[in-house]
Each structure stands twice: as C-alpha cells, then as structure tokens.
Amino acid sequence: MSDLDELERLAPPPAQVPAIDWAAAPALPDDYRALAERYGSGSFAGMGLLVPGHPNRFLDLLRQVEPQRDALRATETPYPPDELLPWGIDENGNVAWWLMRDDWPVVANEARGREWLRHDGGVVSFLAGVLDGRVDPGFLAMRGEPPFAPFPYEP
C-alpha cells in the first residue's frame, strides 16, 4: 500500500477538488502534487495544507513563502530560511516546511519557541504517520478531528 493509499484510508478525500495551477508553482515533490490533486487545501487533523493559487492568501503556498521565511530570519534556526519551503501551517501558527535538499524531508518549527521537528520522508508519509499514530507530531497542533476537512475556495 502506498503512503497516499494509506492516507486515503485514514482520511477520506473530498469528492471534488478545484484545479491547481501547477505552472505558477515552483518544482514541488511528486507526493505533494498527488496529495494536493486528491485533497486540495484543507486541514489534516489541525495542519492546514497550503496549495498554489488558493484564493485565500493565507492558504496560498506561493504567497506564504516570503512571509514565513521572513519570520525565520529574525530567529536562530538550524536551517537557512532560503532552503525552506512552507507546505502547512497549524492552528497555533507552527509551520511545516520542506528542506529543499536531499530528498526534501519534512521539518517544522514551533512558532512560539525554539523547537524543531524533522521527518525523513515526504509530506504524505508524514501526514499518514501522524494520523496512524506512528509519527509523533511533537509540538504541532495535529490531534483534532476530523482527520481531513476541506477549506472553502473563497478569498
């Protein structure tokens, strides 16, 4: 069973998802593209998935890159901000990123602290692992129900 198959079992996707303008997006991991195509923007147990071109600027991956990197530039981080790309934000303002090197592992920073989390796998394996209880989300606010709730596509 693939990570996406497992995630679909744990968090049934919506019946319909708005189209994503991939031409406007930077090169993104294949597992994320499959995830976004299947689910669109929404909350995975409290972690909001950003997608390119979402009409709400707070959910648009492309419009969140610089504001989120700028927030890191004012703090001490284990990773250079320009090597990070945000893919999710939880309800407490903690940000989930890709570290844009190696196999693009998932890293996350605590918004109101100094803690960092690292998952040496893709975003889909991270989300499926959290929902299945194999991956500890640490400080991330990812303990809520439902396992997936789509966000409306309104500005």
| pLDDT confidence tier of residue 25, bands split at 50, 70 and 90 | confident
**pLDDT tens readout for residues 83-135:** 999 999 999 999 999 999 989 999 999 998 899 999 999 999 999 999 999 99
CATH code of domain 3-145: 3.40.1580
CA dihedral 65, 68, 72, 78 (to 10 degrees): -60
At position 26, the amino acid (one-letter code) is P
- The residue ranges of every structural domain in the chain are 3-145
Task: Give the rounded percent of residues in the chain with a pLDDT score beyond 70.
Answer: 99
